[in-house]
Amino acid sequence: MSDDTELPGPVPPPDRLFAADRPKNGRAKCKRCKMTCEAGALRIAKLVPNHFSTSGLWTKHWHHPACLWEVFSRQRTTTKKIDDPEKDIEGWEDLVQEDMDEIVAYLRSQGATVATPTATRKEGDATPKAKKPRTGGGGAKKEVKETARPASPPPPPQPSKDDYFRAFRKLCVELSAEPSYLAKTAIVTKLFTEGTDGGENITYL
Ligand SMILES: [Zn+2]
């Protein structure tokens, strides 16, 4: 009877059981309708335990938003849904306003109280094929200044002679205070085996 099984257990559930993004390519298929989740369009994943993985990794089951809402409407009420997009959706912070609004609109339609989100990301940043800034003419050049200088690495700690001396002095005091020869030996042995700060008997003030 032992609890010490060496088999890798399932990886604990991730903090956020959903994920959302706009894929750069349209390779993932919607788990419900089996159609492609198109590149550049919002898709939402349910994270599910991967039963084929011995390491117990979690897999993303991507859905079109409408398809996931359909899944939600059919699943048991106890099954995890999106309650708070910020806490439940991985990648939420990187969504554009339009996508946040779409998700929040759905959650509100389900009676959830969700704060109005404010995307920090702009629409143009969402896809890699975003419009490029014009390079011709006298366009304003953006000068990137490096304000944060890499801090010089701190010098390695110098071993202080004082430390050695204090340790030695401490040792002498303890040895002189110890009448037993065996105990003296024990103290010295302890110092050599555990160092000056490893032993209980040898401590700095
Ligand atoms: Zn679908």
In this predicted structure, what is the pLDDT of residue 130? 43
Find out whether 87 and 112 touch, Cβ atoms under 8 Å.
Answer: no
Distance from the alpha carbon of residue 75 to the mean position of ligand 1, in angstroms: 16
Residue 12 predicted with pLDDT over 90: no
DSSP structural state of residue 73: H
Residue 160: pLDDT band (50, 70, 90) is low
Strands (E), 33-152: 43-49, 58-63, 89-90
pTM for the model stands at: 0.56
In this predicted structure, what is the pLDDT of residue 33? 98
Query: Which of 83, 119, 86 lies closest to 101 in space, CA to CA?
Result: 119
The CA radius of gyration of the chain, in Å to the nearest whole number, is 31
Residue 150: pLDDT band (50, 70, 90) is low
Distance from the alpha carbon of residue 125 to the mean position of ligand 1, in angstroms: 25
Residue 143 predicted with pLDDT over 70: no
Q: What is the dihedral of CA 15, 86, 19, 50, to 10 degrees?
A: 20
Residue 46 predicted with pLDDT over 50: yes
Which of residues 83 and 200 earns the better pLDDT score?
83
Query: Which of 96, 140, 100, 90 lies closest to 122 in space, CA to CA?
Result: 96
Distance from the alpha carbon of residue 36 to the mean position of ligand 1, in angstroms: 7
Distance from the alpha carbon of residue 85 to the mean position of ligand 1, in angstroms: 20
Bridge-based pairing state of the strands 58-63 and 43-49: antiparallel
Distance from the alpha carbon of residue 91 to the mean position of ligand 1, in angstroms: 20
Find out whether 171 and 199 touch, Cβ atoms under 8 Å.
Answer: no
Which of residues 122 and 153 earns the better pLDDT score?
122
Query: What pLDDT, in 10s, does the model give residues 79-125?
Result: 999 999 999 999 999 999 999 999 999 999 999 999 999 998 876 65
What is the mean pLDDT of the segment spanning 191-205?
A: 55
CA dist 99 → 71, 78, 88, 125 (Å) = 19, 26, 15, 13
Residue 128: pLDDT band (50, 70, 90) is very low
DSSP string, 161-191: HHHHHHHHHHHHHHHHH---HHHHHHHHHHH
In this predicted structure, what is the pLDDT of residue 146? 47
Is the torsion defined by CA of 79, 59, 65, 82 positive or negative?
A: positive
